[in-house]
Structure formats: structure tokens, C-alpha cells
Amino acid sequence: MATESTTAPIVGVPPAPSIESLNEQLNNFGISEPLPVFPDSNPTSNPIDVYRCYIAHVLAPITGVDIKLVYPALEWTQSLEKGDLILAAPRLRIPGRNGSDLTKEWAAKFPENPYVHPPTAAGTFLQFYFRKDVLSKLVLSSILGRKSAYGPIDTGKGKRVIVEFSSPNIAKPFHAGHLRSTIIGGFLSNLYESCGWEVIRMNYLGDWGKQFGILGVGYKRFGSEEKLLADPINHLFEVYVAINKIAEQEKEVEKVKAEEKGEKQVCPGLRTAYWLLLKAMEYRGTKGDKRQISNGLTDEEALEFFFKMEHGDEECIAMWKRFRELSIEKYKATYSRLNISYDDYSGESQVSKESMEKAGKMMKEMGISSESEGAIVVDFKPHAKKLGKAVVQKKDGTTLYLTRDIGAAMERYEKYKFDKMIYVVACQQDLHLQQLFMILKLLKLDWADRLTHVNFGMVLGMSSRRGTVVFLDDILADARDKMHEVMRKNEEKYKQVEDPEMVADVVGRTAVMIQDMSGKRINNYTFDMARMTSFEGDTGPYLQYAHSRLCSIQRKAGIPAENLLNADFSLLTEDHATNLIRCLAQYPDVLQNTLKTLEPTTVVTYLFKMTHLLSSSYDVLRVVGEEPKLSTARMALYESARQVLNNGMRLLGLTPVERM
């Protein structure tokens, strides 16, 4: 049998226990002294902050250093041999004293206490080791009590963030860059939302431009109502390819004819500009001379179609709206498979002419832009030489992508009054985003410094089994099929799976997403279907297997969930148990660090580290067949691990499975 995990994803952060209830809990652990709390600490949400608060409170008078400097200087170590927390003496900036001498003095003065063993001086470092009994009680009771809310800390209450991600072009392939943007943007949205931010998920579609003129003409010739309703994105792309092929053939014929006559061809760009000028003259009621200006029949029709769109032609706009709406509905169904939904399907078409004109006027009045050979440009050399120059308005008065982005940013702030806006866009657009951000700063908009570009590298070697054109549905279908092949190799286990298609689909999606998030996002990676669908190594299927195995242990043990919170955690004395608890305790810090780095791999790496610890613990920490109290304590540990793994997977946008 195969089922998906039913634990609900986190939406915001439920209130953490009060400091009073935490002190009451500590009192039950035999710690009567109230815990000191500091402004930047979160001991009610993060068990390790209990230790930081206590150690900083004790060390401040011993070192003579302000507690605000001591608290952040307490850091995790890379290995348990160096302690649980470590403090580097140089971090406290005490002049004229040898760091090694200082740590020895501090270690000697540190009092006996229930939280940590006497600290160890190791050169300029002071090492702190947690006492096992308090650690297990604090961490496991926190996880079992908070469940899906364990990990995130409410740092974003009352704040709003826009995350713009995915942003495919309608009627064009959903390429690798869109895949990465979708996966990374979905994760970042979940991360901010889990930490209390109000998140506006925005999809800024490529839904305007001459390509829609080409598409409109193509649909009139090759469109099928039946195919459009069945699969709008693929059908529109088929139409787009077919009409473009004809347009290219017409241009070749025109070129040959011109060569035969010995005529010099007009530059296509100049010809297009002149054609648009003639159309504008017609629109204003002025006659123009079209002699010797031929773009080829299809190209002319496309330009005319888009020209009509720009001037509000009802028939053309109605067709464009229909293409857009049908595409969005199809996108919604596809995105839902990745556990993604959007609050705002925006696009280039939605940016108002008024906003762009307002931005243009401001740039001119503030001396940011100037005229150059008929076009309006921004010269960044006085501000940032590496940004060069950017055109914000063409000679014919038309706008560019940069112009529309300026207008869009201004409209978004007016509508949402965001505290942060994140653009999840490939690194190929680094210069474009730098120019956009600089223009907004030069316009002296007080929200310009709230913008962040989260960039990423390329996916290499990605193509669909069905051909070189890649749509997101094709990628997910291929992953599902490949996962199905892998599952069939073990006939005995395959027969036990009630719904192999569903499992293959869920685990296939996991495989694609984990491969994408495993490395630093700026790095390129090679799309490797065989590797990512393997159960060996750090892969998505391995994570799903780890989760389903923990669920299996829970079912076989048959211990009621309500018994776990009352388990005797002091029985968890083995090193395997301590190492796993220590790892579970790190999860809130991992999320806080991820908010700084905006790197999905921070969470992915942590989850693999935890599952490796789990894998090495199963033979040592058996549940079934052990003494009841010990079984309950170990089951509480495994359930805590399952909860954290489930929380982390859902944060990444995955759907954990309970049976495989």
C-alpha cells in the first residue's frame, strides 16, 4: 500500500509556548532557576537558545563583555569532538590578553549547572558539552509538542514579501531556467511563510509582444479549438512553431528574389520600424508609401495583429485573453503537482502605460536618462561603470523589458507596500536586474533597497524523451516513468505497493526537485535522470524511503502517540541517540541560517545528514521487542525524527509518502 503523508503544511507560525510555560517545564526537569531571556533569543521556539541564554548570562560577568556580544559568539561546532557549542575568545575583542589564557580563566570560573558539563579550554576556544538528559527532554518535548510548527521562528510577523518566480513565456517551451526558478521560488515562499511573513507568490508571465502577433496569425491558419481546450500550452507552441517556419521560408524566398534582381535587401530591423511607422500614420489617418517595403506576408500580418492588440482591437484582444487564460489554467494544474499556487498571475501585459510614462518622466526630470540618437538611455558610468548603458525607450517610442520592469516594480509597491521583493531569475539576467535596481535607487524610491535578486546557474543536458522541446509536464512525466522502471526492478516490493503509479509520480517529482536543490543554486548542474531516480546516494527517492521507513516503525511498534510525550527520555543514553537528538536540535538554526543565505541546499544537506544518522541507528536503537519503557522512549525519538524530516520535506515543496 502507498499513501501520502497527511500532515498539514505549515502556514505561518503558531504561537510558541510562553516563557512562563518554558520555565515551568524546566522546573519539571529539576531546573528551578528561571531562564534569562534576551531580545534576539527564541528559547520557546528553539531549544538550543535555552543553552545560549544560560551560557551567555553566566559568561557575561565572567568575561566582562556585554551579553549582546557574548550571545551571538556561541556557535555550533562541526563535530561533537569539539563540543556542542563553542566560543572563540577573539570574537569578544578583549585587548591585550592572550586568547588561550582567557579561555582557561573562564573555564575555571564557570559554575556547576544542570545544562552543560564544565567547559573545556582548547587553545583560544571554549568548548561546551550539553548534558544528555536535559538535552533529550528539551528537544524531544519541543518537537512532539509543536509538531509541524517545530523549526520556524516567527521573525516576520507583520511583514510582507513578494516572491516573483517561474514566469514562463506563454506559447513557448517551459525551459530549464523556468524549472529552477519554479522550484527555488516555491521553496523560498514556503520558508518566508513558515517564519511568519505574509507571502505574495507572483508569476510574471511573458504574455505580450510581437510573438503574440505571430501566434494570432498562426492560430487563424492552424489552430484547433479541440486541441486548444485539451492542451493549450502544447497546442499554442505547435502553432507558434508552424507559423514561424512559414515566416522563415517566406523571408528566404524574398531574399532569393532580391538577389536575382540584384537588389540590396533592406535591414529587417529598419524595415520593421518603417512598417510600424506607416501603420501609425494609417492609424492617425495619414497616408504612407509602402513601396518596396515587404516583410513577407506572414511577418506583416503578425506585426499588424500585434499593432491592433496595442491599440485595443476587440477581436485581437479577445483572442489574446483567451490564450492567456487557458494557459494560466493549465499552468495552475501543473504547478499544483509541485505543491505550488500563486496569489498573482501578473505579466508584461499588465504593466500600465501610465506607470511607464511616470517612470520615464521622473528619470528625465532627475537627469537619470538622456536622449541618444533618438532613443532614451540611462548611462550608469557615473554610478557603476560595470553596468554600462541601458536603453529604456526605442527611437520609435516603444518600451523595452527594462521599462516594463521599472513600471511593474512601482505598481507592485503601490499595491502591496511590500517589505521585501525577491526576483528568482537566472544568473544570465544579473546585469538586467542590477540595472533595474540601480535605476530605482537613482529615482530615490525609499523602497528600492528592499529588492533582492536570487539567481541560479544553468541545467545542462536536459531534454524530454519526447524530443528536445521541454515543458514542465514532460519533465515530470519522464521522472514518473523512470521511477516506475526503477520500482519494477524489485518485483517482490513492487507487488506490495497498492498504487505504484501514484508512488512513482510523487517520488519522481521528489527526484527532480531534490536534484535541483542539492547544490548551491549559482552552480550549473547536469540533469541526470538515472542518478536522481536512484535509491542510492543523496537523492529524492532516498529521502522518501527514509520517511516511509520511520512511518513503518511507528506502525509496527503500535505505541499510541499520546504516550510518547510522557516517555522517559533519560533512557536514551546511547551515542547514536545523542547524536540524532543533537541533529534534531539544529533544525531551527538551519532555517534561520537559510533565511540569510536563501540557499535550498542548506535544508537539503541537513535532511541528508539526519537521515544518515537514522540509517546508522536502526540496528542499535531497536523498538520492537524491547522493554516497554525503552521502546516508548526510542519510538519518541524516531517520531521526532519523522516529524522534522516531514517538516523539512514540506518546506522544500515535497509530499512525504508514508508507505512505499
Residue type, 127: Q
Under 8 Å between Cβ of 119 and 131:
no
Quick check: 588 and 151 in contact, CB under 8 A? yes
At 545, give phi and psi (nearest 5°): -60, -45
Helix boundaries (H) for 17-93:
19-28, 47-63, 67-73
CA dihedral in degrees (650, 653, 658, 660; nearest 10)?
-150
Q: Which of 178, 235, 330, 482 is catalytic?
A: 178
175 among known catalytic residues: yes
Write down the catalytic residue from 175, 279, 330, 482: 175
b/e for 409-418, b at 16 or more Cβ within 10 A? bbbbbeebeb
CB contact set of 491 (below 8 Å; sequence gap of 6+): none
Helix (H) or strand (E) holding 437: helix 430-442
The C-alpha cell at 552 is 513503518
What is the spatial distance between Cα 525 and Cα 538, in angstroms, rounded to a whole number? 15
- Out of 172, 279, 420, 547, the active site residue is 172
Short-list 466, 477, 9, 390, CA closest to 199: 9
Tell me which residue has cell 544518522: 613
The question of whether 264 is a catalytic residue gets the answer: no
Taking each helix axis from N to C terminus, what angle separates 472-488 and 500-517, rounded to the nearest 10 degrees?
120
Q: Is 117 a catalytic residue?
A: no
Q: Which of 454, 233, 206, 203 is nearest to 342 (CA)?
A: 203
SS3 311: coil
The cell for 594 is 537559510
Specify the residue for cell string 568575561: 63
CA-based torsion, 436, 442, 447, 448: positive or negative: positive
Give one DSSP letter per residue of 404-424, joined into a string. Answer: HHHHHHHHHHHHH--SEEEEE
Q: Which helix (H) or strand (E) holds 636?
A: helix 628-651
Which phi and psi angles does 154 have, rounded to 5°? Answer: -75, 80
Q: Round to whole Å and give the CA distance between 404 and 167.
A: 14
Distance, CA of 84 to CA of 78 (rounded, Å): 9
Question: Are residues 162 and 421 in contact, defined by beta-carbon separation less than 8 angstroms?
Answer: yes
Pairing of strands 85-88, 125-128: antiparallel
Q: How far apart are CA 601 and CA 597, in angstroms?
A: 10
DSSP states of 14-30: PPPPPHHHHHHHHHHTT
Residue carrying the nine cell digits 507596500: 417
The residues that are catalytic are: 172, 175, 178
